[in-house]
Amino acid sequence: MKVAILGGSGKTGRAVGAALAQAGVATRPLGRAAFDDLPAALAGADAVHVIAPNLHPDEPAYVAAVLAAATEVGIGRVGYHSVASPYVPAMPHHLGKAVSEDLVRRSGLAWTIIQPCAYVQNLLPALRSGTLDVPYSVDTPFGMVDLHDVAAATAVVLTGEAHVGATYELGGPALVSIADVAAAAGVTARRVPAGSDVHPWLQAMFDYYDDHGLPTGGVPLAALLGRRPASVAEVLARDLAADPGA
Ligand SMILES: NC(=O)c1ccc[n+]([C@@H]2O[C@H](COP(=O)([O-])OP(=O)(O)OC[C@H]3O[C@@H](n4cnc5c(N)ncnc54)[C@H](OP(=O)(O)O)[C@@H]3O)[C@@H](O)[C@H]2O)c1
């Protein structure tokens, strides 16, 4: 089996590629150059996993282009990397994923959608600096998840027919706040103002996080992995001291 990974050279795509390789699956990581000729980039793959870049200005168009090319070259199997709580009209980039999910479900391909919460790994650079400053409440709940667990679950769903037609919310084993993450790392969490040049979609996300966090269930991820997903403390113990470039 060979899986083409759109966004395969990004942070998520590299982790997904590593998890698929560990499962013995050949991968074809693809970056933005693949969009010069998508059918040629996808030809010969058995499945395609679609990861859009962060804050893509038109994620439905990005996803639609991949679905059309996959259909053209006869790839029947598609995975789509969405997000937890995609239908949130207050967050434009989440809404783009909700619209994209609908395109995937109506594509005629054999699809699986995953909806991960925010990765614990997002916070590592700040934690390494010795404080955890975020532009939203440090007390609202998140289902923060290990990126490597998300990648391992992606490998599971792409290699098993049982997951065709499924949508999986992927959270960690417990709801945690930013204050909890900081405590696990032995640092202080502080709510600070966002920078003045912050992307308006990120500001919208911070405002939503401020009020609601992003609570996300952990049961589907545990079921896919066949074990309890890594806790924040376990991810920090493994990754906090690791080479940031790795
Ligand atoms: N971070 C989280 O906690 C989290 C949680 C849930 C979901 N997600 C979602 O995960 C996705 C991936 O996040 P990430 O951090 O892995 O992204 P990322 O590192 O920004 O992804 C970069 C990838 O996208 C490609 N790319 C960049 N600009 C492009 C363009 N204009 N057209 C086509 N391809 C382009 C890059 O190719 P080149 O190498 O050619 O530049 C690279 O392969 C996002 O959709 C995000 O919303 C993230």
DSSP string computed for 185-236: HT-EEEE-PPPTT--HHHHHHHHHHHHH-B----HHHHHHHTSPPPPHHHHH
* Domain of residue 159, CATH code: 3.40.50.720
- Torsion sign (Cα): 193, 198, 202, 208: positive
In this structure, the residue with its CA closest to atom 27 of ligand 1 is 53
Q: Residue 246 falls within a domain, yes or no?
A: no
User: How remote is the CA of residue 122 from the centroid of ligand 1, in Å?
Assistant: 13
**What pLDDT does residue 243 have?**
63
User: How remote is the CA of residue 31 from the centroid of ligand 1, in Å?
Assistant: 9
Q: Residue 217 falls within a domain, yes or no?
A: yes
Q: Residue 138 falls within a domain, yes or no?
A: yes
**What pLDDT does residue 242 have?**
80
| Cα radius of gyration (the chain) | 18
User: How remote is the CA of residue 186 from the centroid of ligand 1, in Å?
Assistant: 30
Q: Residue 205 falls within a domain, yes or no?
A: yes
**Which atom of ligand 1 approaches the CA of 119 most closely?**
3
In this structure, the residue with its CA closest to atom 3 of ligand 1 is 118
List the one residue out of 71, 79, 63, 67 whose CA is nearest residue 25: 79
From 27, 48, 51, mutation site for ligand 1 pocket: most ligand atoms within 8 A of C-beta? 51
Query: Which residues of the chain carry a pLDDT beneath 50?
Result: none
User: How remote is the CA of residue 60 from the centroid of ligand 1, in Å?
Assistant: 14
Q: Residue 245 falls within a domain, yes or no?
A: no
**What pLDDT does residue 148 have?**
98
Q: CB of 9 closer than 6 A to ligand 1? A: yes
Q: CB of 216 closer than 6 A to ligand 1? A: no
In this structure, the residue with its CA closest to atom 5 of ligand 1 is 118
Domain extent for 182: 2-239
| Total domains present in the chain | 1
**What pLDDT does residue 232 have?**
98
Q: CB of 6 closer than 6 A to ligand 1? A: no
Ramachandran angles phi, psi of 13, nearest 5°: -65, -35
**What pLDDT does residue 85 have?**
98
Length of the chain: 246
Q: CB of 129 closer than 6 A to ligand 1? A: no
Q: Residue 244 falls within a domain, yes or no?
A: no
